[in-house]
Amino acid sequence: MSERIVVFTEREAGPVCGLDEGLIRKNGGNVRYGRAADDKERVKITEGADVIVVGGTRLSRQFLTALPDLKGVVRLGIGVDNIDLEAATELGIVVGNVPDFCSDEVAEHTLGLILAVARKIVLADRKSRRGDWVPGMDAILRPIRRLSGQTLGLVGLGKIGRCTAAKAKGLGLKVIAYDPYANAEAAKTAGITLMRLEELLPQADILSLHVPETAETRNIINARTLALLKPGAILVNVARGAVVDEAALAAALASGHLAGAGLDVLQQEPIRLPHPLTEFENVVITCHYASLSEESYAIMRKQTSEQTVQILHREYPQNLVNVQVKDAPQCRLRRNDS
């Protein structure tokens, strides 16, 4: 097999999780790293590439069209909203991802945000560090409610949503969920009640988001849906920033309708200051790292490298996202240009 090129354009040293370069080289691949400032530079770096490994960079139709040799893209992670899947399929480019590398981590982070907001842990830490720990702190920090017995409403019941539900039950939370694509029987077996979003919102003490960014989910949490939440509810978002209307969220916090929010993701990342949501003491913001652990990154490195090798061998990646490409006559994995 002649040498094939694998490219990552977001960091000169390669992805943070790393790639198994030995495995890729053993299977005829040569890895190239670089940091591209824009699409023009990215096209230059990826010229002749057979596979692109991508993190958060957007791969547009225009960019993909400029790479006639490209056979496949492997996404470092779960979400593929940064890749023009329609264009990739039309061009015959396969797209793979790593859909289950961090279910435990994101579920744990979700619970961490819930505890941080509901127990006002971050607020108490800020006050302590500022020297504001004074007698009668209980009066300042109230109200705080016991989590056990409260209702957790999940928007999205995929692998991460189900993992979150299982862990949340250990805290004594009742779990309900909205997901029009979920298997009702599997949800029932897991002890999770599926319902319409409009039915779920007024029952949720805590609303936690676990959906990909799609046309259907963008701004699914907006002024109308926030108003349906019970007064004093908490919002947690570990999904994508675009699923929440941040102006509506700020208004709901300012009015006192929401008791707080825990956010691992924002519409603009990294955060640009000043930002309206940083003005609220009852908001906890983390830097989009819910998936991070040594274990999850080891899985991501392994599965990304293995799927890269599959594409180099003209095989479909194990976690093929755009399955329609299999039936497309223009699929580049079948093109004889060795």
- Catalytic residue IDs: 240, 269, 288
Count of Cβ atoms closer than 10 Å to residue 71 Cβ: 22
What are the tokens at 223? 């002024």
Please enumerate in sequence order all residues whose Cβ is within 8 A of that of 135, keeping only pairs 6 or more positions apart, or say none.
none
Please name which of 255, 262, 254, 264 lies closest in space to residue 234, comparing C-alpha atoms: 262
State the Cα–Cα distance between residues 281 and 268, nearest whole angstrom: 20
